[in-house]
Amino acid sequence: MAFELPKLGYDYSALEPHIDARTMEIHHTKHHAAYTDNLNKALQGSGLEGKSIEEVLKNVSGQPAAVRNNGGGFYNHNLYWKILTPGGASKPEGELLDALNNSFDSFENFRDAFIQAAMTRFGSGWAWLILQDNKLAITSTPNQDNPLMDVAEVKGAPLLGVDVWEHAYYLKYQNRRADYLNAFWSLVNWDEVARRFKG
């Protein structure tokens, strides 16, 4: 079974004005599609065909760079589309909110730390909220790496992730990553983050 490019749960224009339709369309039909195709090619003859993407990532250190880069790209974008939603809530509620308050002193501190991690990731990469041994933590990764990979400096289960590659924001925001992150914050699907938190 080859990996397939997922369909989005909303239209390309649904996240306007925060993320524009053209960026969404190119991001999904070009970037994510290419990671998916190239992952399938890279896995041919690797012995990992038929494994889940999580299994592939967990064992990525023994694989060629094409598996690491495209496997990460495939997984990361699957998560990114799911944790975005038109008209996202400004904050989570219930157990997830309590856990964020406990771990970071306040939701506002969590938000600042997450945005800081995304702002300071030099070049292309991702910032993450992860669950690590039942504790919440913030980390970031270069390129298409993620915290599920055995090569990651900080490992855990991704709950929320933001793409800070320029292709995620350049058409609308040019070099203004901070403005994109502010817009991203209006679109977070906290129900999906909470679902991942509960596992």
Q: Which residues bind Mn ion (CB under 5 A)?
A: 163, 165
Residue 163 Cβ, how far from Mn ion at the closest point, in Å? 4
How far, rounded to the nearest angstrom, does the alpha carbon of residue 13 sit from its chain's CA centroid?
20
Residue nearest to Mn ion (CB): 163
Q: Which is nearer to Mn ion, 163 or 192 (CB)?
A: 163
Residue 82 Cβ, how far from Mn ion at the closest point, in Å? 14
Residue 87 Cβ, how far from Mn ion at the closest point, in Å? 22
Q: Which is nearer to Mn ion, 159 or 162 (CB)?
A: 162
Query: Residue 127 contacts by C-beta under 8 Å, 6 or more apart in sequence?
Result: 114, 115, 117, 118, 121, 138, 139, 140, 161, 162, 164
Q: Which is nearer to Mn ion, 65 or 89 (CB)?
A: 65
Q: Which is nearer to Mn ion, 145 or 163 (CB)?
A: 163
Please state, in angstroms and rounded to a whole number, the distance separating the CA atoms of residues 55 and 57: 5
Please state, in angstroms and rounded to a whole number, the distance separating the CA atoms of residues 195 and 38: 30
Residue 168 Cβ, how far from Mn ion at the closest point, in Å? 5
B/e letters for 74-98, b = 16+ CB within 10 Å, e = fewer, are: bbbbbbbbbbbbeebeeebeeebee
Helix, strand, coil shares, percent, the chain, to 5: 50, 15, 35
Residue 165 Cβ, how far from Mn ion at the closest point, in Å? 5
Whether residue 17 is preceded by a cis peptide bond, meaning omega within 30 degrees of 0, is: yes
Angle between helices 177-185 and 107-120 (to 10 degrees): 140
Residue 31 Cβ, how far from Mn ion at the closest point, in Å? 5
Q: Do 48 and 157 meet the contact criterion of CB atoms below 8 Å apart?
A: no
Q: Which is nearer to Mn ion, 67 or 84 (CB)?
A: 84
Q: Which is nearer to Mn ion, 165 or 180 (CB)?
A: 165
Please state, in angstroms and rounded to a whole number, the distance separating the CA atoms of residues 162 and 181: 8
